[in-house]
Amino acid sequence: MTAASDLIIFWTIVSLRILIPLTIPRYPLPGIIASLVLDAIDQTLFQSLTNFQLDGYQGYDKALDIYYLAIAYIATLRNWSNQWAVRISRFLFYYRLVGVVLFELTQFRWLLLLFPNVFEYFFIFYEVVRLRWDPRRLSGAVLAGVAAAIWIVIKLPQEYWIHVAQLDVTDMVKQNLLGYPETADWGAIFSERAGLFILFFAGVALAIYFIWRWLRSKLPPADWALSFTPDAHLARIPEVDLRSTTRALAAHFLDRELFEKTALVSLLVIIFAQILPGIRSSNLELALAMTIVIVVNTVVSETLVRRGVAWPHALRQGLVMVAVNLPVMLIVSLVRYGSIPLLALNNIVVFILLLSLIITLYDRYRPIYLTRFSDGY
C-alpha cells in the first residue's frame, strides 16, 4: 500500500471523527452511536488498511473522544427536557474531563478507571428513552440509579479492561476465539470463516429481536411515534423569549456562563496540547491564554447582543468568533514569545477552531436551557 493511500485513509477517518459529532445536536442518538462506533474501530481500520505506526495515536484518540463528548454535553442544553438529567450529565461529563486531563498530565492509566466515562452511556440511555417516551417521566432518583448502575456494572469493568489491563477485544477474538495470530488480516479471516460470521450475526440479530419483544411487554405505553430528532417533540420556545434570556445573560459579565466556558475550553485545550507537536507554553500559560481569549470573546459577543445583533445561523456566528479569537490569540502569543513559528501557528489555528466551535454551540444552547426550565416549556 502506498504512502499516499495511507494518508488518504488516515485523513478520511480523522475527518469523519471530527465531522460526525457535529450531527449530535440535531440527531443525538445516531450521532453519538456513529461517533462511538468509529472510535471503537478506527485503530483496527488503521492497522488493517494502512502501514502507519500507531504508537502515539492513543493521545489523539483520547482527545477526539473528549471532543465528541463535549459536543454531546452541550447538546443536552439544547435538547433535554428533564432538568435532573441535565444536572447529572453535567457532573458526569466534567468528572470525566478532569480525569482525562489528570491522565494526560501524569500518564497514570488507573486514573481513567477512577474517572470512568459514565456520561456517554448515560447520554445514550436518555436518548433511547426519548425515542418513544417523554423523559420528564424519569425522576431524579431513577436517573441517579441509572447513572450508578452504568458506573458500577458497565464502565468500571470496561475501563479496567481497556486502560488498566490494556486488552483489546478484537485481538482477543482474533487470537483466543478464532485461533489466528495478532498480525492476521481481518479480510482474510472473514473470507475463511464467512459461515461462522454469518451465524454469529444472525444469532445476535435473533437475540436482539427476542429481547426487544420481551421489553415491549414490560415497558409502559409509548408517548409518541419513533423519532430520532428531539425537535419533533420538544415544545417550541418563542424567539422573543430566547432573545430576552440572551439579553439578560449579556447584562451580567461575571457570571456562571463565563466561568463554565473558561473551565470547559481550558480543560479541552490542555488535553489537545498534550498531543500537538511543538507546544511551547505550559498548561498554566495555555489556561491563562484561553481565559484572555474567552473574556475578549464574551465582551464582544455581549456588546453585540446589547446592540440587538442576533445570529440566525450557527455558521455565521462561528465565523465571527473565529475572526475575533484568532487575532487575540496571535497577539497573546507575540507578547509571550516575540515571534510565531509555523508549527506554533498551526497549533493556534487548531485551538481557535476548537474554542470557537465550543463557544458558539454553548452560547446558542445555554439560553435554550435556561428559557426552557425557567418558563416551563
pLDDT tens for residues 251-273? 777 778 888 988 898 888 888 87
Neighbours of 59 (CB within 10 A): 16
Q: Is residue 357 part of a domain?
A: yes
Question: Closest Cα to residue 35, out of 25, 46, 24, 26?
Answer: 24
Q: Is residue 286 part of a domain?
A: yes
Q: Is residue 73's pLDDT more than 90? A: yes
Cell numbers 436482539 correspond to 208
Triad 204, 205, 208: Cα angle to 5°: 85
Cα–Cα separations (whole angstroms), residue 15 to 167, 195, 254: 27, 34, 36
Measured distance CA(87)–CA(75) in Å, rounded: 13
Cα–Cα separations (whole angstroms), residue 31 to 18, 121, 142, 219: 12, 13, 25, 25
Comparing 71 with 183, which gets the higher pLDDT? 71
Measured distance CA(212)–CA(230) in Å, rounded: 22
pLDDT of residue 377: 67
What is the three-class DSSP state of 24?
A: coil
Q: Is residue 277 part of a domain?
A: yes
Measured distance CA(147)–CA(341) in Å, rounded: 46
Q: Is residue 76 part of a domain?
A: no
Q: Is residue 377 part of a domain?
A: yes
The rounded radius of gyration (Å) of the Cα atoms in the chain is 23
Phi, psi of 255 (to 5 degrees): -145, 180
pLDDT of residue 1: 47
Domain range for residue 297?
Answer: 235-377
pLDDT of residue 343: 55
pLDDT of residue 25: 95
Number of domains comprising the chain: 1
Ranges 110-114, 291-295, 341-345: which has the least confidence:
341-345
Q: Is residue 57 part of a domain?
A: no
pLDDT of residue 98: 93
Q: Is residue 104 part of a domain?
A: no
pLDDT of residue 123: 98
